[in-house]
Amino acid sequence: MGKPTGFMEYKREVSREQDPKKRIRHFREFHEHLSRDRQSLQGARCMECGVPFCQSGMMICGMASGCPLHNLVPEWNDLVYTGNWEQAYNRLKKTNNFPEFTSRVCPALCEAACTCGLNGDPVSTKENEYAIIENAYEQGYAAARPPKVRTGKKIAVIGSGPSGLAAADQLNRRGHSVTVYERSDRVGGLLMYGIPNMKLEKQIVERKIKIMEEEGVVFVTGADVGKDVKAEKLLREYDRIVLACGASNPRDIKAQGRDANGIYFAVDFLKANTKSLLDSDFEDGHYVDTKDKNVIIIGGGDTGNDCVGTSIRHGAKSVTQIEMMPKAPDTRSEDNPWPEWPRICKTDYGQQEAIAVYGHDPRIYETTVKEFVKDKSGNLKAVKTVRLSWEKDAATGRMNSKEIPGSEQTLDADIVLIAAGFLGAQSYVADAFGVELNERTNVKTAAGSYQTNRENVFVTGDMHRGQSLVVWAIREGREAARAVDESLMGYSNLVC
């Protein structure tokens, strides 16, 4: 422990965010990070606890507490403080394949479980991670390191999201020959087209893909396995298959008028926006333009927030975000103690921007859509909503909602974006490989296993566990890679 009193001597300091009214003029990342010297002092705040909850990744009350990757947080926090940046990078990469992604998009479960946060401010671990990986690129530590020996085994990974990339990276390190198939025109899956550019600029994804290619991973884009690439052909050509196609079925809203023009799934809206940005800086017009439109977003999660920020950047007249659940408390409640994940109200970047532009929080809680109202041409012109009340079922303990009579309201709406989550794997991929699905429409495996019912076919990521965080996807990819390696070699030295 380099600075035993660091948590008392130094206050938490994080990067500055560009003013909301300025950053909505562009689609670039908007954080101004600390200098290396100032970031080093943040490493000094780490207490290097005897029991480091930050790296535990335990499930408490159904939520993760600490990092699911079991990142060696106290070790590299201390190395940041002492200025041993290369060693900090080596310790970070031991457990995390993609700190360049997690240091930007992870909700920082490590910080929520930080002991410093029990009676003060947690260590700025996420920004320490960012400093480590960006310094590694600047200094050349993050350069390609191809395996020196190849095993002669061939593996196909279907899907290039964070889980597929993690599995491919691990298996390639082991010396297997890995080919990644991606149905889109660019590699990255969720990282490329599911997360807006202002949260994760796409040259960051491309930078890492280039290194993986230099290390020997082969990427094939525009290859929709199960449709234009036959599953049986891959099964003949490869020793093992890893399915990493995500949870790609968006949850729909079944209400009168659903067929109105102007209703889109959030995933389609965000993908079209990023693709048009990358292809032509929006010159091609192949995106949903919200300029001067009244936008209603159904869903209060991260994807809904991304839709808020994207709509505002295009000049929306108004943005309203509808959330079925009650507003979470602003501080921890007594039944949500540390080190549980804090169930508190978070005002994210999109909501901050809405407050700056429109003068109020865009979220409406305990509300659902009753009807989509169309004009004579079939175009959306409004939505009818109703307020909800929530009551606990005495028999099951579950919370159930009921509509509040007389609480109906009509909101002007030119565009509706449905950001209500995802239901599971797309069936055509599962059918092509003959793998079974469970009751949640995820690919079925035994508990703790990544082997499907089909010989030599494994599954990982959201396709296996359902919609989740990037950090969980990386963990799944690492664990699936170990399972594949053991099936091929009889043992594995891959670290999960």
Q: Please, are residues 53 and 113 in contact by the beta-carbon 8 Å criterion?
A: yes
Task: Provide Rg for the chain, Cα atoms.
Answer: 23
Percent of the chain at pLDDT > 90 equals: 94
Tokens of 124: 């700025």
pLDDT band at 379 (very low <50, low <70, confident <90, very high): very high
Beta strands 399-403; 31-32: pairing state: unpaired
Range of weakest confidence among 57-61, 171-175, 365-369: 57-61
Measure the CA–CA gap between 108 and 102, rounded to whole angstroms: 8
Task: Say how many Å lie between the first and final Cα of the chain, rounded.
Answer: 26
In this prediction, residues 399-410 reach a mean pLDDT of 95
Task: Give the Cα separation of 270 and 45 in Å (integer).
Answer: 38
Confidence at 184, pLDDT banded by 50, 70, 90: very high
User: What's residue 3's pLDDT?
Assistant: 86
348 phi/psi in degrees, rounded to 5: -85, 180
Question: CB–CB of 362/317 below 8 Å?
Answer: no
The reported pLDDT for the residue numbered 267 is 96
Enumerate the β-bridge partners of residue 373: 382
How does DSSP assign 444-473, residue by residue? P--TT--B-SSTTEEE-THHHH-S--HHHH
Q: How confident is the model at residue 194 (pLDDT cuts 50, 70, 90)?
A: very high
Average pLDDT score over residue span 282-309 = 97
pLDDT tens digits, one per residue of 106-148: 999 999 999 999 889 999 999 999 999 999 999 999 999 999 9
pLDDT at 1: 65
Q: What is the mean pLDDT of residues 206-228?
A: 97
Distance of alpha carbon 440 from alpha carbon 451, whole angstroms: 18
* CATH numbers and ranges of domains, the chain: 6-139 (1.10.1060.10), 154-248+423-489 (3.50.50.60), 263-418 (3.50.50.60)
Buried/exposed 280-314: b ≥16 CB within 10 Å, e otherwise: eeeeeeebbebeebbbbbbbbebbbbbbbbbbbbb
The per-residue pLDDT of the chain, averaged, comes to: 96
Query: pLDDT band for position 398 (50/70/90)?
Result: confident
Percent over 70 (pLDDT), the chain: 100
- Model-level pTM? 0.96
The arithmetic mean of pLDDT across residues 225-231, rounded, is: 96
Distances (CA, A) of 102 to 128, 201, 339: 12, 13, 21
User: Is the confidence at residue 303, as pLDDT, over 90?
Assistant: yes
